[in-house]
Amino acid sequence: MNRRAYILACVLWASAVAGAQVPVRNLSRAQIDSLVHPTLHAEGDKVLRADKLSCDLGKMKETDKPVSRTFRLRNVSNAVQRISRVHTTCGCTVAAFDTTAIAPNGETAITLTYNPKNRPGTIDVDAFVYVEGDDRQPMARLSLYGEVMDSDEWRHLPHAMGTLRVKRKEVCFAELPAHGKTSMRVLCANSGSKPLHLTSRLLPPYAAFHTEPDVIAPGEEADLVITIDVDKLPKQDGTVRGSLLIEGIGGKPSERMLQLIIEK
């Protein structure tokens, strides 16, 4: 879910809790933020007091299993309290808590479980704790922070050809000179553990292929360079389509094809 959709969902959720319809389009960014991140109750620290307010989850991978951290809260008021709900600011985090009444000076626990799957980047999650009888302002805010490492360092090169990752598999030449040659570059990377020396076959007579550098070291980025000789193009008008097969990598031939689109 993108940030805008998530904020909208939070606003609608807050609207339902409040028992009224909120005209979302009329809300400012500050008003939306106040619904997603509500202001703590002014007397909150005189009602519930946590043993800690935040936990550092450190560095995680997207493929790691969900992790849990437990916060202990003490009822420091003179009245019996009961936790009614815990609202987290991200669907990646689930709160587990006991709804049993907490006597004065009694304790309870809230466990926050964070799931890093498909969430690379900074961890910055808040959990707002509400008690029975006051559902508008939270009594405490508990936080998780840390970092989820991207499990795919070549995410910006979405197409895989064996151990070769490429930016795109279609190369479009939209502006051609009247004569001579023109080239296009496609960003690529060697995601494997062995150097790659790439060649091509099934090249159309008007196309040439090489990489820069000639040998792509493991973990390094490079360019696939496709050159078109305009004077050798078919004399037909309109779009010319062709393809080339990259050699030097594993995978089926259909997975190792680059498509050429030439607008004449």
Domain ranges of the chain: 43-149, 159-263
Question: What pLDDT was estimated at residue 33?
Answer: 57
Tell me whether domains 43-149 and 159-263 share a fold. Answer: yes
The label of the residue with tokens 């997975």 reads 255
**CATH T-level assignment (fold) for domain 159-263:** Immunoglobulin-like (2.60.40)
Q: What is the pLDDT of residue 3?
A: 46
Q: What is the CA radius of gyration of the chain?
A: 29
Which helix (H) or strand (E) segment holds residue 43: the answer is none
Work out the number of other CB atoms within 10 angstroms of the CB of residue 244.
21
Q: What is the pLDDT of residue 230?
A: 94
The DSSP letter of residue 155 is T
- What is the mean pLDDT of each successive set of 10 residues along the chain, which is 264 residues long? 46 43 53 67 89 95 93 96 94 95 96 93 95 89 93 85 94 91 96 94 92 96 96 89 93 91 90
Q: Cβ(234)–Cβ(261) under 8 Å?
A: no
pLDDT score recorded for residue 74: 97
Chain centroid, CA 82 distance in Å: 36
Distance between CA atoms of 177 and 182, rounded to whole angstroms?
7
- CA gap 203, 256 in Å, rounded: 13
Task: Output the pLDDT for position 22.
Answer: 47
Q: Measured between alpha carbons, how far is 12 from 44 in angstroms, rounded to an integer? A: 25
Look at the block and give the residue holding tokens 């910055």. Answer: 124
Strand partners, 96: 111
Task: Please give the DSSP secondary-structure letter assigned to residue 234.
Answer: -
d(CA 210, CA 214): 7
pLDDT at 35: 60
Q: Which pLDDT value is given to residue 27? A: 58
Sign, CA torsion 135/137/140/145: positive
Q: Give the C-alpha separation, 95 to 93, whole Å.
A: 7
Strand partners, 106: none
CATH class of 43-149: mainly beta
In DSSP notation, 104-151 reads TT-EEEEEEEE--TT--EEEEEEEEEEETTB-SS-SEEEEEEEEEE-S
Q: What is the 3-state secondary structure (H, E, C) of 66-112?
A: CEEEEEEEEECCCCCECEEEEEECCCCEEEEECCCCECCCCEEEEEE
DSSP 193: S
